[in-house]
Each structure stands twice: as structure tokens, then as C-alpha cells.
């Protein structure tokens, strides 16, 4: 395992070239400076400030209650920790659905005030005019298809999308429309691996999968899930690389014990 201290900044054209060259793209989420600094040293290609931040950082039930000011706070914090990876931010619910004008203003704020380098939007056909306009204005767009969490009430939950032929066909069409509109990549969330393969093969731009199998051009997870910090959801697609939640609990219990036993602080820890 290597720590990536100095190397070239990751850019939007580089992400597209990685697909052309068959190099898998690694993406993870961050919402604060400390996590972003550690992630940036790992050689990660893209850091996503996901609206999942509202759930893992602020205890929201789902991503629908996350707004612009919360996302701006997360992206500004992450920007201060990132030197190398491409920084992408989720546009929250209602920040791009009402009008193209609103979407431009909000996406622009993420680049201008937040220091993001691209925005991510959920959905297909209905948001194509927004994607086209943002791209025309020089704002790079990452799409997001499949299980789009901002639509969970419509879907009735967090189940796999695209198992039936009609939805699968719609997803393939939406992917082509997003590419045509100028998106530089797209997340495919919780769809069958074979469908993700078909979509990935029909596109020139990279797909980044989460619960979408091994044929995507890249993979993304929520960092707090893969670190074992978020216990509310344990979907089968999450590989746990650490059990930090358990380690933290043990450390906190030990601290409480040491304070109660007057074992902390020691002479060495005093002035």
C-alpha cells in the first residue's frame, strides 16, 4: 500500500482518459477537512461531497432534508483538505429541479464559494436541459442513475432498480441522454451487474458503480460505511475495510474509566 504525497491533480479530462486507458476510477465521500486530507493522501481519484453527509454527519433520516447551506458548509470544509483529487459535490434536492436558472445559480455557488470542480445531479430525461446548460457554461456534471436516493418516496424504498425490462430500458436511454448532454461521468447505484455492464459498454464516459457490480469503470462507497462508522444501513455491497466505530467506542469507554478511576491525567500528562 502506498501513500500518494505528490502527484498530478486529477481533472475532468483525466477521468475520461482513465476509461479510455482501462484504468479503474476510485471515488469515496468526505464531508470534513480531516477526512478529506487523509483521503487525498490515499491516491483516491475523486472525492465526492455527497448529500449522504446529511445522514452520516447530521443524523437526517434520508437525503431529502439536506439543503444548499448544509452542502456548502461540507464542500468548503472538504476543499480545505484536498490538493490532488477531483472534488465533486452533490446538488441537494430542490436545488436543480425547479428551473434551469436556479440550477445554474446553485451549481455556480458550489464552484465559486465552495471550490468544487464538478457537480453531481440525480436523474435522467427530466434533468437533461439542466445538464446541457451547466455544461455549456463550463460547469462539469456527473450524472446519477438507478437507485437515486432523492426519489425514494417514488420508489417506495432502497431496493434494486432495473430488474424489470421497462426500467432497465429507461436507464439505458437515460445514460445515453446524459452522455449526449455533456455529462463527464455517471454514478450507477444499486442496479444489476449485467445492466451496469451494458450501460458502461454503450458509453464513452465512465460509469462509477455503487452496488452495481464489477463491470463499471469505477467504484464509489460512502466512506463512513466502508470504515464501519455508520451502523444504520448495512447493504451487502459495502465492504467494511475497518471497524472504526468499534475502535472509537472502546477508546471512549477506556477514557471514561480512566477519568472515573483518577488514572487520567498522569504526572507525564500534567504541567
By annotation, the residues acting in catalysis are 189
- Judged by CB under 6 A, the residue of 87, 89, 222, 229 near ligand KIV is 222
CB of 150 to ligand KIV, least distance (A): 9
Q: State which of residues 35, 118, 188, 210 lies at the interface with ligand KIV (CB under 6 A).
A: 210
Q: Which of residues 70-129 bind ligand KIV (CB under 6 A)?
A: 90
Using the contact rule CB under 6 A, the part of the chain among 6-14, 50-58, 106-114, 171-179 near ligand KIV is 50-58
The separation between the first and the last C-alpha atoms of the chain, rounded to the nearest angstrom, is 40
Verify binding: residue 223, ligand KIV, rule CB under 6 A. no
**Nearest alpha-carbon partner for 73 in 113, 126, 104, 42:** 113
Cα(30)–Cα(84) distance, integer angstroms: 14
220-227: list long-range contacts, CB under 8 Å, 24+ apart: 220/27, 220/28, 220/29, 220/46, 220/48, 220/187, 221/28, 221/29, 222/28, 222/29, 222/50, 222/52, 222/56, 223/28, 223/29, 223/30, 223/35, 223/39, 224/29, 224/56, 226/28
Q: Which of 29, 77, 106, 200 binds ligand KIV (CB under 6 A)?
A: 29
Contact between 177 and 125 under an 8 Å Cβ cutoff? The reply is yes
**Closer CB to ligand KIV, 36 or 187, in the complex:** 187
Cα 224 from Cα 50, distance rounded (Å): 12
Q: How many CB atoms lie within 10 A of CB 113?
A: 12
CB of 261 to ligand KIV, least distance (A): 41
Task: State how far the Cα of 264 lies from the Cα of 241, in Å rounded to an integer.
Answer: 32
Per CB under 6 A, the list member of 10, 45, 50, 85 interacting with ligand KIV is 50
CB nearer ligand KIV, residue 35 or residue 48: 48
Closest CB to ligand KIV among residues 64, 177: 64
Task: List the x/- string, 176-205, binding to ligand KIV by CB under 6 A.
Answer: -----------x------------------
Rg for the chain, CA atoms, rounded: 20
Min dist. Cβ of residue 75 to ligand KIV (A): 12
User: Which stretch in 4-12, 32-40, 46-54, 238-246 sits in contact with ligand KIV by CB under 6 A?
Assistant: 46-54
Q: Which residue is nearest to ligand KIV (CB)?
A: 50
In whole angstroms, what is the distance from residue 79 CA to residue 30 CA? 10
| Chain centroid to CA 120 | 8
Q: Which of 40, 45, 51, 179 binds ligand KIV (CB under 6 A)?
A: 51
Q: What is the rounded distance in angstroms from the CA atom of residue 93 to the CA atom of residue 95?
A: 6
Is residue 220 within the footprint of ligand KIV (CB under 6 A)? yes
Q: Which one, 127 or 187, has the nearer CB to ligand KIV?
A: 187
CB 183 within 8 A of CB 141: yes
Q: Which residues bind ligand KIV (CB under 6 A)?
A: 29, 48, 50-52, 90, 187, 210, 220, 222
Amino acid at each position: 500500500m502506498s501513500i500518494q504525497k505528490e502527484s498530478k491533480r486529477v481533472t475532468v479530462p483525466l477521468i475520461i482518459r482513465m476509461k479510455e486507458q482501462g484504468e479503474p476510477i476510485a471515488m469515496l465521500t468526505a464531508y470534513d477537512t480531516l477526512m478529506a486530507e487523509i483521503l487525498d493522501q490515499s491516491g483516491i481519484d475523486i472525492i465526492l461531497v455527497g448529500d449522504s453527509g446529511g445522514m452520516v454527519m447530521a443524523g437526517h433520516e434520508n437525503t431529502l432534508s439536506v439543503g444548499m447551506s448544509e452542502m456548502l458548509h461540507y464542500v468548503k470544509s472538504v476543499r480545505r483538505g484536498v490538493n490532488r483529487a477531483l472534488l465533486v459535490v452533490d446538488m441537494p434536492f430542490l436545488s436543480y429541479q425547479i428551473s434551469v436558472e436556479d440550477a445554474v445559480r446553485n451549481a455556480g455557488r458550489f464552484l465559486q464559494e465552495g471550490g468544487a470542480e464538478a457537480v453531481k445531479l440525480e436523474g435522467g430525461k427530466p434533468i437533461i436541459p439542466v445538464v446541457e446548460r451547466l455544461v455549456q457554461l463550463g460547469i462539469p456534471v456527473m450524472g446519477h442513475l438507478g437507485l437515486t436516493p432523492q426519489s425514494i418516496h417514488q420508489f417506495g424504498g432502497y431496493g434494486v432498480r432495473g430488474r424489470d425490462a421497462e426500467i432497465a430500458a429507461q436507464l439505458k436511454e437515460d445514460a445515453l441522454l446524459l452522455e449526449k448532454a455533456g455529462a463527464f461521468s455517471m454514478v450507477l447505484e444499486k442496479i444489476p451487474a449485467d445492466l451496469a455492464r451494458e450501460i458502461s459498454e454503450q458509453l464513452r464516459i465512465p460509469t462509477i458503480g455503487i452496488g452495481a457490480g464489477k463491470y463499471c469503470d469505477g467504484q464509489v462507497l460512502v466512506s463512513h460505511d466502508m470504515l464501519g462508522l455508520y451502523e444504520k444501513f448495512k447493504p451487502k455491497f459495502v465492504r467494511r475495510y475497518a471497524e472504526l466505530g468499534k475502535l472509537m467506542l472502546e477508546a471512549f469507554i477506556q477514557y471514561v474509566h480512566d477519568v472515573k478511576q483518577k488514572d487520567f491525567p498522569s504526572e507525564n500528562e500534567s504541567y
